Amino acid sequence: MSVGHTGVTTDPVVSCGDEHEDCGIREVLDRIGDKWSVLVVVELAQGVRRFRQLQRAIPGISQRMLTLTVRRLERDGLVTRTVHPTVPPQVEYELTTMGHSLTYLVKALADWSAQHRDAIAQARQTWDAEHPDSGIR
């Protein structure tokens, strides 16, 4: 099957077999595509963190959202949560093996972003200049 484009790059053919199906792509994005999950994963990639540590390391996240995010990660088996029944209470979060495997993916995202950030920014400027009032933004 020819890809039929004139571009320079070769094509990894991300097609999902022979069906026009949603691969598992949307599943991953529904999991880490939210506002905070990746940032939590990035921080936990550095090592074990406590709740407050995480919150301080991720500027702008609310207590509520940190709780929700970390709960969902725990539910999906990406993070472990260990409670130390001390006073005041201590709760430690750590990536599971699967959670660590995610960091490679996140690194790929970061790399792609770094490589194309400028090109995208410029493309936007150009497009915005050519389409002054277009609803999009």
Partner DNA sequence: CCGTATCCTTGCCGATACTG
Partner DNA sequence: CAGTATCGGCAAGGATACGG
Q: How many CB atoms lie within 10 A of CB 92?
A: 14
Considering the complex, state which of residue 21 and residue 87 has its C-beta at the smaller distance from a copy of itself.
21
80 near DNA, rule: CB under 7 A: no
What residues from 24 to 53 belong to the interface with a copy of itself (CB under 8 A)?
A: 24-29, 31-35, 38-39, 41-43, 45-48
| Whole-number Cα distances in Å, 41 to 27, 29, 93, 95, 116 | 17, 14, 10, 7, 22
Closest CA to 102 of 28, 22, 48: 28
The nearer residue to DNA, 15 or 90, going by C-beta atoms, is: 90
What lies within 8 Å, CB to CB, of 103 at 6+ separation is 41, 42, 45, 95
5 versus 64: smaller Cβ distance to DNA? 64
d(CA 89, CA 74): 19
Contact residue for DNA among 7, 24, 85, 135 (CB under 7 A): 135
Q: Is 38 in the site for DNA (CB under 7 A)?
A: no
Restricting to residues 84-113, name those near a copy of itself by CB under 8 A.
Answer: 94-98, 100-110, 112-113
Q: What would the x/- binding string for DNA be over residues 18 to 37, using CB under 7 A?
A: ----------------xxx-
Told to check if 61 binds DNA by CB under 7 A, we report: yes
C-alpha distances (whole Å) from 131 to each of 117, 119, 120, 134 are: 21, 18, 16, 6
Complex with DNA: residue 90 or 101, whichever CB lies closer: 90
82 near a copy of itself, rule: CB under 8 A:
no
Structure tokens at 37: 């999950």
